[in-house]
Every structure is written in C-alpha cells, then in structure tokens.
Structure 1
Amino acid sequence: MSAISNSATPEPLLEVRDLVKHFPITKGLLNRTVGKVHAVDGVTFRIGRGETLGLVGESGSGKSTVARLVLRLLDPTSGQIHFAGTELTRQRPAELKRLRRKLQIIFQDPFSACDPRMTIAQVVTEPLEAHRISTGKAARRTAAELLERVGLAASDLDKYPHQFSGGQAQRIGIARALTTEPELLVCDEAVSALDVSVQAQVLNLLRELQGELGLAYLFIAHDLNVVRYISDRICVMYLGQFVEHGPADELLAEPQHPYTRSLAAAIASADPHRPPRWDRIMARGEAPSPSAPPSGCRFHPRCPAAFEPCTNKFPVESTMGERTVSCHLHDAAEVLSHD
C-alpha cells in the first residue's frame, strides 16, 4: 500500500485512498472462484486543481485499471475515491452521471473511440445531448468552437473519422472530452499511438488547454520522456502498486527505486556525458503474472539489487522531502544513517 501526500495541494480535486481492484478467476461450469488478479493493490494519490500527475509503468502494471476506477467505469474492490469533496464509490447512478460531466477521458486509440458511421458533429455533440447540456444548432455551434480551439476547422464537422489522420482524430477526441466543461481529464496513453512529431503537438495543445481552462490531468503513459514533459509529479507503478513518487524533474534526475532506474535507463539520451551512476541498472526477465504476485517486494525477482529481506518482507515507504520510495535498500540506508 502506498501513501502519497502533497502539502502544496491541501484541498485536492481528486484524492484516492487505498484503492484495490481484484478480478476473480473462475473455473468450471459453476464458475467457481479459484484465484484473483491483483490489478490494483492499495494505491493512494491526489491531484490538485490545474495539476498534472503522471502515472508510468510497464504494460500490465495496472495503470489503465486505475483510470477506469477513477472514472467509475469499474467498481473498486475496496478503497475510496474523492472528487471535489464527493465520495464517488457511494453515489447513486443519477448522481454519478452528474459528476461524470466533470470527469472525462481521452483514449489511446481515437478511431476506436468514434463510431465510424457518425459524422464529427455527431461524435462531438453526443456528450452534450447525453448530459442534456444543449441540442440542435446550439450543440453544433459548441462543437464548431471546440474544433477550432483544438486546431481544426468548423468545416470538419460534416466529415467522418476515417477522413482524418491519427493526430487530427486525437484532437477530435480532446474536443469531445471538453464538451462537458470537465475539471479532470484522464489521458490514458493519449499520445502513444502517434508519431513523435505529432505527439509533441498534442502535448503542447494539452498544456495550452490546461493553462486556459485550469484543467487537471491524470496522464498515463509508459514513455518517461513524454511523462516528464507534461507532468508536475510522477507515480511509478509496478504490478498494481506504487514503488516511487515525486516531482517529475527530481524523480527522473535521481531515481531511487531500482525499477524506476531501469525505466529511466531505457530513455534515449543525446548527451554523451550522461552520468553512468544508474544507466546500467536493468530489470531482468519479464514481469510476473498479477494473478500470482511475488511475496515481499514485488520487483525482487527482477531486481539486480535484491537481497534477503526483499523476498519475504514488503518494504516500508520511505519519505524524502516531497518524494516517497518503497524499497528495502532505503530501509537499510536509513538504519545505517542512524547508527
């Protein structure tokens, strides 16, 4: 379980506490439960208004499950999700629908998120009609304004999704997410399917919109360069748990957890004088199955720095200013510093 605090945001827009999601594994004609997938296992974090929290980790670490739990597209096994002072897990469907106006998502694949039989006008105005914000000509005017705001033209309203490039389609997805005037956008691998040059354009657009509208972002990705560019803080996730958290620049300049170091070591650098302190620390093998997570520190089977306590004892979270790390190496360092 991870506990993350941030004194800079005493009244967070989003606060998640001890969030858990286990998926049952069933077998046989009677669907007897024989195990469970530990998709998310006790994560805690907060996002302030106008802030970007980056969530990074390998595929299968639980990032997208966290996104869907926050949006209440999935019901949590346990834990709490507070949005603007309201506990989302206790809301009735009607109240949850009202709150969802302020919580929107930008998907990884913009084409899959659009019905290919619908025009862009229909795609963008659909949330306006679903939430009974506006209909008809008023909704179309709003859609035209939003398209222009994200760098497209009002004349694009009568086109179909297949007539756009990936970057343009993602701009349409952003416009659609903005229709309900949200306060928090969940960006679930929102630029990973785009070319590098187009990624930069979309990231700059997101930063501009954040400055103009005061949006908060939960930005999920596996590319640390992308996450560093847009995030104020970063949480590093491995097998359903957070292993490190801190300010983006500080965390990536001096990663403390071996897993974070292995991710940072994979970042391409144009600097031939890059310090070699942790560049050679690489994870071994593949991540274990979340249906059978290792005992102790979940990263220990792949960790080049693992030692005896890692195999059977879960590390206590260490705090270093605004940073936290869950690693027995830091437990040992703290003990030595007090001797």
Structure 2
Amino acid sequence: MAFNDTASDWPTFSFIGMPGLETAHIWISIPFCLLYLGALAGNALLLILVRAEQNLHEPQFYFLAMLALTDLGLSLTTMPSVMAIFWFDVRHISLDAYLTQMFFIHTLSSVESGVLVAMAFDRLVAICAPLNYTRILTHYTVACLSGAALIRGATLLAPLPFFLRNFPFCGPNILSHSYCYYPDMLNLACGDVTFSSVYGLVFVLCTFAVDVVFILASYIKILGSIMKLGAQDRNWRSLQTCARHLCTVFVFYLPLISLSVLHRYTQDTSPIQYTTMSNAYLLMTPLLNPLVYSLKSRQIQAALRKQFWVQRVIAGE
C-alpha cells in the first residue's frame, strides 16, 4: 500500500499477535492481563507510598517514584494494543495511532534509562561523599535530573514520527510485535531509509549507550572508593544498598539489548521469538521493578506494613 497525500490513502499496519497460537489467544490473554494488572498495581502502590510516607521523602525514593511513573506510562501505552489483539482480534492500526504509540514507548524508555543514571548518581554520592549527600542531592537537583531525562527523551524522539510519515509503505505492512516499535516500522518502509536508520542509531548511542557508560563509571568509582579503605574500615554492607538498583538495571537493559540484537543481526529468527522477547522487554520491567524494591528495601517494607495496619484500623472503625 503506497503512501499518498490524502488521509484516506494513509497505510494501516497489522500486528501479528502470537504467530501459530491464534486459537489460544483468549487463554494467553489471562496471564498477560494478570501481569499488566500486577505492574499497574505495583507501581501505583509505590507512588502512593512515596507520597504518603514522610520517611520516604528522600532523593532515592523520589527517583523510585519517577521510575514507577515511567513504568506506569509504558504499561498503559502498550496494554491497549496487546490486549485488543488477544481479546477482540483487533490487529490493524492507523499510521497516526502507530506513530503516537511509538513516540510514547521510545520516549518513556529513554526517560527510564535516564532515571536509572540518576539513581546511580544517587548511590555514588551516598557512598563516596555521604557527608555532602544532603547538600548535593537537594530537591532542586532531583527535579533537574528527572526533568533532563524527560526533555532529552522527548526532544530526541520528536523528529522520528516526521521522518516515518514521509516514507511510502508498499508491502503487506505486517509488524513483528504487539505494539509500535521504530525499527519494526523502518523495515517496512520503501525508499532510502539510510538517514532515518542512522538517526535511530544516534538516538540509541546518545541515550542508552551513554547511560550505560555513566552507570558503569559510577559503580567503578563506588568500588574503587571502598577498596581504598583499610580492611578494617571497609563496609561491604554499603554495597547492598546498590543491589536494588543493579537488579533494576539488568531487568531493563538485558531485554532491550536482546531485542536490538534480534532486529539488527538475525534474519532467521522465528516470529514467536520476536514477539516473546518484545513483550518481555516492555512488560517484565514494570512488573519486576516494584517487586525488587519491595522485597529488598526495608523502608518500603516498613511503609507497606504501616499502611496495612492503618487500613485495618480504618476498616475496624
């Protein structure tokens, strides 16, 4: 289907769902629905706790709230298209709807990566300069770091929808995922896509690659600072405060890197593998982040217990 200037001739795209498992979509939708509900409930609960508990009004928990807010956005952005496929067999999406969902997915992914960098900086200051922690990480600093992550993602992603609107699409326009993914659409475009492909690579390098370097540099500095201390002065327990953040980093970047490798360097990958990996990328991160922080943070656990007893007292009254 070629791209013309009139809105009626704009192309539509088709999601593939779970290839080969179409007859089982209604059953597959049950675990997907439960996972989405778990992700929404977990991140919403973290936001409520950080807002309600005075003990959580600290920079590391403000960043956690930003992370939870980003994960909520990712879940709410992808859930309509994914569940529409499983529940109603709605597979078609217009060009404008595709570009809108694509913009939010990639922007929020970039924001989450930036927040992970801010959390690494928080751990760096807390361990390497604890006496200056409150002076460096003020409310203003937290707001600036969070705002910078948002502005960076939105600014770098803004040109991509305009690039894609200028391409003709002459094939069957069948997508490899259950949501809108920039490399997926670029593979369907006709004509010379060199510039758009290079810009996409630049975006990845300026966001995810740079963020990984900053995170690695932060932990190298943290480890180096601890190793410089005498054996009797080393407090290895201080590294345990980084465990939650490292778990979140691995949960976010491993599926992202795996999905990028599948798109760029494999030609014979089965569609079901693409779909499974893509769903793991945007579903497991929002689901696991609240669990990681709830299970490993004593302050979060204390806040949960407090809210539980408060609700029981209110219910008893």
> TM-score band, normalised by the shorter chain?
under 0.3
TM-score by length of 2: 0.26
User: Which is bigger in relative contact order (C-alpha 8 A, separation at least 6)?
Assistant: 2
TM-score by length of 1: 0.25
More helix by share: 2
